Chain A
Amino acid sequence: MSREGERPGVTGKPSRSLLRLVGLMKPARGIMTAAILCICGFVTLNVAAPKVLGDATDVIAAAVFGAQFDAGRFVFLLLVAAGMYCVTSLLSWAQGRLNALAVQRLAYDLRKAVEAKLHRLPLAYYDGRSRGDVLSRATNDLDNVSQTLNQLLSQLLTSTLMVIGSLAMMLLLSPLLAVVSLLAVPVSALASIVVTRRSQKYFVRQWEATGDVNSLVEETATGHETIKLFNAQSSMAVRFADHNDGLYAASSKAQFASGLLVPLMAFVSNASYVGVAIVGALQFLAGAMSIGGIQAFIQFNRLFSQPLGQIGGMAQVLQSCAVSASRVFELLDAAELTGEPSEQGSGARADGSSFDARFDLPSGRVAFERISFSYRPDAPLIQDLSFHVEPGQTVAIVGHTGAGKTTLISLLMRFHELGSGRITIDGVDIAGMGRDALRRNFGVVLQDPWIFTGTIRENIEYGLPGASEADVVAAAEASHVDHFVRSLPNGYSTMLSNGGEPLSQGQRQLLSIARARLSGRPILILDEATSSVDTRTEVLIRQAMHRLRSNKTSFVIAHRLSTIRDADLILVMDHGRIVEHGTHHSLLELGGHYAHLHEAQFAAGGGELAAMPVRSAKHRAEQGEREAS
């Protein structure tokens, strides 16, 4: 049996993440090859141009020493040098653009992958961690990767090629001096390894601390009202200061440790320069080299050691990039939902015949067969529970808070997977259907109405993309959304944001009812769909729902018993078991849990209400309808 909600996979070292990043750049192979070619050309010209300019200087020098001034050659060399410089700039510009293109593509793909991942993670993943941290990975870390990668790619490539090119020139000029210069390589490498080791852990800590700060701000900004009501600003500020200090400590250490590299590399470069100057001078005295040779060598030594230092200095950027990348990969590698059939939407019936899970017209017969489930292995929640629902029936689930009502619904929708037993729709085991195929059968209104940033129309249309304006309005009218929408200045085009502002909680619930209504799915699930709606409106919705439900199988969870009293089957749950089932009448007669709940609900006002002679017109209408149906 597959299970949602396993521990996320732990991704390895940050260094491995860098390799993975490089792997991800494969689609941009062509672009990267072009960029590398540009850089090769750039480096060659960059090494050669000073030489041409030097030749021009030599023409002057020759003239100074008495030769005829060759004005034509002088101008020619200068023009060649200028031309080379222009080409150098063009190549540098081209590689910059190509790099940017490759990096932005990678960032785009990564963001897309992260977002797609969010849809494939088990719901339990979100229960276990803060939204702020997940968000921080998807934005801060990803942003850091793309920013640093942009720098890294062009600089790292340029510097590496510069090092190689100048090393070749140095070897040509003087192998002995080249060896002196090469001494810088192990020293640089050692320095970067030592520094990198130290700063690595600070970088990890820095990004973790950023995640902490992120979470706390996200959390407290969302719970802003509560904090103010309890004057808890200062205690929250203390908590924040704690995280903030952690971030400060980690980031200043990371900054300093990694910042050491640049001066250290400069030191190695300068020391190598001094070494070359001294050994070169002694070589000259021994008659092994010319002054011109030494001067040229010193220039190439600069061209060699400076990019070498830059490569070392880039280790800092590299680390920051690697740590962020590994946090992103950690999210990408988290265990996903399992148990999807290989071919979406098809499977096998218990009797072996094949089927299409997107039933054209499922009858809506649902059976729970000896199911068990628990969130934690040590605390069984639902044990050996069975019931079945005939097509078109309305099933109400009642029971104390925490009795497992919502869990039952989430098992039916495969938000969580069964421990044992099976659930079937029209005889087909839902475990064999694709989750999406299965869920296309349900129109749902969940406990917390979820409204996304968009217009009211878009939010209703969510249930049935591409629905006609008339259908949207019809669904809105039937759900009593229409009248308040029309009182808003922009009507159906009113933008909703921050989870549904400016609508009240009740209006949000009505909106999600309209959404479910519009969807026209064969099985309806209403989980406390009207808990924040006032009762008069609820009566009207109930009538409309009654009509809507007539040919649909419905599951209704509600605390207000008046909402569900006309259900075909009422399941009374307690501690994960069905303790009673039957209709309103049979359960009242039984005199058990349900009767007790019922009594409590109507005890306060029941007596007086019963004696009240006045009946509203609406109520009578409702009663009439019920009798008629």
Chain B
Amino acid sequence: MLASLLLQRLAPFKAHVLAIVLLQLVQTGATLLLPTFNAKIVDDGLVAGNSEVILRLGAWMLVLTVIQVLAAVLAGYLGAIVAMKIGRGLRQELFDKIHSLPDQDVAAFGPASLVVRTTNDVLQLQNITVLVFSMLVAAPVMGIGGVILAVEQDVALSWIVFAIVPVLLVIMLLIVRKLVPLYREGQGLVDRINGVLREQILGTAVIRAFVRQPFEMKRFEAANDALTKNNLRSARIVAAMLPLVMTVVNLSSAGVVWLGGHRIIAGDMQLGALTAFIAYIMQILLAIMMAMYVLSTAPRAAVSAERVTEVLNTESEKVLPGTNAEGRVTRPSAEGLRFDNVVFAYPGAETPVVESITFHAAPGTTTAVIGSTGSGKSTIVSLVPRLLEASSGTISLNCRDIAAVPLGALRDQLGVVPQETWLFRGTIAENLRISLPSATDSQLWHALETAQAADFVNELPQGLETTLSQGGAGLSGGQRQRLCIARAILRPASVYLFDDSFSALDTVTEAKLRAALEPELRGATVIIVAQRVNTVVSADQILLIDEGRLLAKGTHDELLESSETYREIVASQMDTEEAA
């Protein structure tokens, strides 16, 4: 997974990679050559007593070191660029992917985990790329160079070299195999810590109100304990790695002296070769340690690669081919919205959330949806912008099956106020322009006025340019709702959907708002999900939903006549005083 991801990501940087490999070759070669020059100084300079040779060879050694540093710096530069470009590309792709996923998948991953995947996991991948370039490329050159030079010294002794290499490989393999699952579990635990912290930040008020800080601390402690235990276990394995390798290599150098000693006594080998051989074994050790260091970080990066790939491989929403403009209907309000025997069930669920929903909402009319908490009202609304895909039945907008309309085009024709109001960090103007980027300031003010939000925006010191914090924190629930309404009605749409969008408004404000909306949305199809009877009383038709079914359909008066449930709802909201 890690290798294939990195290879795929490295593909566009072939020239860079080639240059890095060459530079590392030069760099390592220069390092390997230094001892040879030193040996020459000893042989040709010292023994011959020639100070001129010493200075000449010394100068060459200096040249080599300069070449070495230049190559290393350049390789480092290219490596940094390539690694960080790969990181940037991955982050951007992840971000784009997240926003093409169906809602359920985003919820399944959870924002906390998606955050860790886009930052922390990508960081791990960047780091390993840097390491691969700086160490993994140099290590084999150094190791192989060491082996070649060792074999050159004495062929008979070199079987020791060939014996220790597989032993080291087995050690590495065993360790990596133990580490991978630990690291995978570790990243999951980091997610969990992140999740707990995120909840605590969101729930600060409730936690403090119930004085449950001790409980929260315990909850966190459990996650913290688990993470620490996991980290300790993997750190212990890593701690054993280097000593194991050192033992193997050091003992084999003792072995070299033992075997070599006997060969020298027997007259099969020169004394000088022995010292050289040990030096090269040390060189090989250094190379292997470098490789080990990279490989010790590999399991963690491998887990990160899996987590990143998991997001990237999740199937996006069915966008449908075609441009957004293509799907636009020329006459925006030809027929309105039609539900024909629509059913929605979550995959694998026994009972559908909504079933057999059939109605027609014509342009210029208002359809209200009312029903108990959890009866499926919001589900019906979510089916229109295809946040959820109908399991069966058809929904058509202006005579076109929405399942056949490109997603972007479909949503461009809708103005939706979701139940959960969400505002982004940024100014009020930026938040509104999400809906219609080309909107002028006067259009913004007009929408705000309609939504009864102009007054409080006006009172803010910076007006439209006031910066909102994340989620609109700092604003009251009612203010957030009105901003979301302004945002939705800013765009020209053929259908406007309000999902319980007036719940946090006081009744006077709501009444004014609906009165102001009426002329604005004339000509469009309006769907309003509501709890309050006075919100729905003037609707052209009211859909009464109960347990996922369409229980009754008609105007307020018709339903008062025909539906006992509707009468109960009305009664529950009535002012007893006046009714009496």
| B329 part of interface (Cβ distance < 8 Å) | no
How far is it, in angstroms, between the C-alpha of A219 and the C-alpha of B114 when the chains are bound?
Answer: 11
Cβ-defined partner of A227 (8 Å) among B99, B110, B212? B99
B211: contacting residue among A118, A436, A525, CB under 8 A: A436
Indicate whether B444 reaches chain A with its CB closer than 8 angstroms: no
Given the complex, which residues of A lie within 8 Å of B385, measured CB to CB? 228-229
* Any B CB within 8 A of the CB of A387: no
CB of B159 closer than 8 Å to a CB of A: no
Chain A, residues 254-279, CB within 8 Å of chain B (1/0): the string is 01100110111011001101100110
Query: Given A227-B99, A537-B373, A444–B210 Cβ distance below 8 Å?
Result: yes
Q: Is the interface of B mostly helix, strand, loop or mixed?
A: helix
With a cutoff of 8 Å between Cβ atoms, the chain A residues found around residue B408 in the complex are 231
> How far does the Cβ of B562 sit from chain A's closest Cβ, in whole Å?
12
Within 8 A of A (CB), among B206-221: 206-213, 215-217, 219-221
In the bound assembly, the distance between CA atoms of A497 and B192 in angstroms comes to: 12
Which chain A positions have C-beta within 8 A of B109?
221
Q: Contact partner of B87 among A49, A129, A251, A609, CB < 8 A?
A: A251
Q: Is the CB of B99 within 8 A of A225?
A: no
Does A33 touch B at the CB level, under 8 Å? no
Min CB distance A471 to B, Å, is: 16
Q: Which of A213, A221, A506, A525 has the most CB of B within 10 A?
A: A221
Whether the pair B46, A291 counts as a contact (CB closer than 8 A) is yes
Contact of A603 among B111, B374, B375, B511 (CB under 8 A): B511
Q: Known A217-B118, A413-B209, A606-B578; judge A453-B261 contact (CB<8 A).
A: no
Q: What are 22 residue pairs bridging A and B, where the CB atoms are less than 8 Å apart in the complex?
A: A96-B236, A99-B239, A112-B217, A213-B118, A217-B115, A218-B111, A228-B103, A248-B84, A256-B77, A259-B80, A260-B76, A263-B72, A270-B61, A274-B61, A277-B61, A281-B45, A401-B509, A453-B196, A465-B212, A497-B110, A601-B508, A615-B579
Q: What 16 additional pairs, Cβ within 8 angstroms, besides A59-B261, A61-B271, A244-B92? A: A57-B261, A63-B265, A86-B251, A118-B204, A119-B213, A143-B190, A222-B422, A228-B387, A244-B91, A278-B54, A285-B46, A497-B110, A505-B419, A562-B572, A565-B576, A609-B574
Q: How far is the CA of A495 from the CA of B500 in the complex (A)?
A: 26
Stretch of B146-154, B162-170, B356-364, B410-418 contacting A (4+ beta carbons < 8 Å): B410-418
Chain A residues with CB under 8 A of B215: 462, 465
Interface members, chain A 117-171 (any B CB < 8 Å): 118-119, 123, 126-132, 134-136, 138-140, 143, 146, 150
Cα-based distance from A236 to B72 in the complex (angstroms)? 39
Residue A364 CB within 8 A of the other chain: no
- In the complex, the chain A residue whose C-beta lies closest to that of B535 is A604
Asked if A421 is at the interface of the complex by the 8 Å CB criterion, the answer is no
* B414 smallest CB distance to A (angstroms): 7
Which residues does chain B contribute within 8 Å of A264, judged by CB atoms? 69, 73
CA distance A229 to B500 in the complex (A): 16
Is the Cβ of A108 less than 8 Å from the Cβ of B224?
yes
Known contacts A64-B271, A213-B91, A267-B68; is-contact A235 B573 (Cβ 8 Å):
no
B516 CB–A CB distance under 8 Å: no
Please provide the 3 A-B residue pairs with the shortest distance between their CB atoms, ordered closest to farther. Answer: A96-B239, A506-B373, A401-B478
Contact status A224-B103, CB under 8 Å? yes
Chain B contacts of A285 at CB under 8 A? 46, 49, 51, 54
Contact assessment for B575 and A562 in the assembled complex, using a CB-CB cutoff below 8 Å: yes
Which of A92, A413, A436 interacts with B246 by CB under 8 Å?
A: A92
A76-105 contact mask (Cβ, 8 Å, vs B): 1 or 0: 001001100110111011001101110111
Interface-facing stretch out of B174-182, B393-401, B467-475: B467-475
Instruction: Tell me how far the C-beta of B257 lies from the nearest C-beta in chain A, rounded to whole angstroms.
Output: 5
**A267 engages B69 (CB within 8 Å):** yes
B373 contacts which of A115, A298, A510, A618 (Cβ < 8 Å)?
A510
Q: In the complex the two chains form, is A531's CB within 8 Å of B504's CB?
A: yes
Smallest CB–CB gap between A590 and chain B, Å? 15
A40 nearest CB across to chain B (Å)? 16
Instruction: Find the B residue at minimum CB distance from A593.
Output: B508
Q: How far is the CA of A7 from the CA of B80 in the complex (A)?
A: 37
Report whether A223 and B424 are in contact in the complex, using a CB–CB cutoff of 8 Å: yes
B533 within 8 A of A: yes
**Bound state CA distance, A235 and B438, in angstroms?**
12
Contacting residues, chain A, for B470 (C-beta < 8 A): 130-132, 215, 218-219
| Residue B403 lies at the interface, judged by CB distance under 8 Å to chain A | no
Interface residue B392 (Cβ < 8 Å from any Cβ of A) = no
Task: For the complex formed, measure the closest distance between the CB of B159 and the CB atoms of chain A, giving whole angstroms.
Answer: 19
Complex CA gap A591/B425 in Å reads 42
Report yes or no: A255 in contact with B574, Cβ–Cβ below 8 A.
Answer: no
Inter-chain contact A221/B505, CB cutoff 8 Å:
no
Q: How far apart are the CA atoms of A535 and B385 in the complex, in Å?
A: 27
Q: Which residues of the other chain, A, contact B278 by a CB distance below 8 angstroms?
A: 53
Interface size on B, residues (CB 8 A): 185
Inter-subunit contact A236/B120 (CB<8 Å): no
B186 to chain A, nearest CB (A): 10
Binary per-residue interface labels of chain B (230-259) against chain A in the complex, 1 for a CB within 8 Å, 0 otherwise: 011001101110111011001101100110
Interface pair A559/B504, CB less than 8 Å apart: yes
Say whether, besides A89-B246, A612-B579, A447 and B477 are in contact (CB < 8 Å).
yes
Task: Select one of A131, A233, A596 contacting B202, CB under 8 A.
Answer: A131
Chain A 496-517, CB within 8 Å of chain B: the 1/0 string? 0111010111110010100100
A520 to B534 CA separation, bound complex (whole angstroms): 35
Contacting pair A439 B209 (CB below 8 A)? yes
Give the residues in chain A near B211, CB-CB below 8 Å.
Answer: 436, 439-440
B478/A498 in contact, CB under 8 A:
no
Cβ-defined contact, A528 with B504, below 8 A: yes
Q: Are B205 and A228 in contact (CB under 8 A)?
A: no
Chain B residues positioned under 8 Å from A537 (CB to CB): 372-373
Minimal beta-carbon separation of B15 from chain A (angstroms):
17
Chain B residues within an 8 Å CB radius of A565: 575-577
Asked if B477 contacts A448 (CB within 8 A), the reply is yes
B115 near A143 (CB under 8 angstroms)?
no
Per the bound structure, the CA–CA distance linking A96 and B533 in Å amounts to: 70
A361 interface residue, CB < 8 Å from B? no
Within the complex, the shortest CB–CB distance from B329 to chain A, in Å, comes to: 16
Docked complex: B191-206 residues within 8 A CB-CB of A: 193-206
